[in-house]
Amino acid sequence: MSFKKETRILGIDDGPFKKFSSKETILVGSVFRGGEWLDGVLTDKITVDGFDSTKKIIDLINNSRHKKQLQTVFLDGLTFAGMNIVDIKKLNNQVSLPIVIVSRKKPDFESIKRALKNVSKSEKRWKLIKKAGEPIKVKTNSRKEEKPIFIQVEGMEESKAKELTKMISTRSRIPEPIRISHLISTGIVRGESYGNA
């Protein structure tokens, strides 16, 4: 194992929102020691279908007292608050940390391209999608019936990113810092959250 058991991970997710009435939703980051121990919670708000996700995540990380301990940043998908898409290369460059994007199923680029037609500046957004590169499959759980997840990586060798993703998926097939940020963001917006991912 090339990672320390307590390597500090930030896992980021957004909250749910009402498609036609919400202007913004919550952004939640969980600071973890490996896949075991929650060490802090970071929050901000981002604009639905906006362009501020990259900047908000950069600031969330660089302004945090946790920054100096952090080793890797995991994101729950590349699109936040609807079609507010993260520039993975800019994020990696501005926070000087490897970025791992996690998807529960293989991203369907054709349907993303179609969905982009419903928002402004679809070409600009499409370029950000392409920038993140090809998703690679990771089987995080040894149980046969468990589905794999998919990751896109910036600033770390793919083999290492796969190893780390497996290591921190301690309670489900989803990396624990992502699972927890999802439970928190949904609990805040809806008043209640449940379950494994």
Helix axes 109-116, 122-131, angle to 10 degrees: 160
Tokens of 177: 């810092």
Is the separation of the CB atoms in 140 and 173 below 8 Å? yes
- DSSP letter for each residue of 13-59: EE----TTT-SEEEEEEEEEETTTEEEEEEEEEEETT-S-HHHHHHH
- Is there binding between residue 41 and a copy of itself (CB under 8 A)? yes
The residue among 39 and 158 lying less far from a copy of itself, judged by its C-beta, is: 39
- Is there binding between residue 20 and a copy of itself (CB under 8 A)? no
Out of 43, 47, 93, 94, point to the residue binding a copy of itself (CB under 8 A). 43
Shortest Cβ 184–a copy of itself spacing (Å): 5
Out of 28, 85, 95, 151, point to the residue binding a copy of itself (CB under 8 A). 28
Q: Which residues of 50-83 are buried (b: 16+ CB within 10 A; e: fewer)?
A: bbbbbbbbbebbeebebbebbbbbbbbbbbbbbb
- Is there binding between residue 53 and a copy of itself (CB under 8 A)? no
- DSSP letter for each residue of 63-90: T-TTGGGEEEEEEE-SEETTTEE--HHH
Out of 4, 23, 37, 134, point to the residue binding a copy of itself (CB under 8 A). 37
Distance CA 37, CA 51 (A): 32
- Is there binding between residue 77 and a copy of itself (CB under 8 A)? no
Out of 71, 113, 187, 197, point to the residue binding a copy of itself (CB under 8 A). 187
The residue among 41 and 109 lying less far from a copy of itself, judged by its C-beta, is: 41
The residue among 113 and 171 lying less far from a copy of itself, judged by its C-beta, is: 171
Shortest Cβ 116–a copy of itself spacing (Å): 31
Residues of this chain that bind a copy of itself (CB under 8 A): 28, 37-44, 64-66, 171, 180, 183-184, 186-188, 191-195
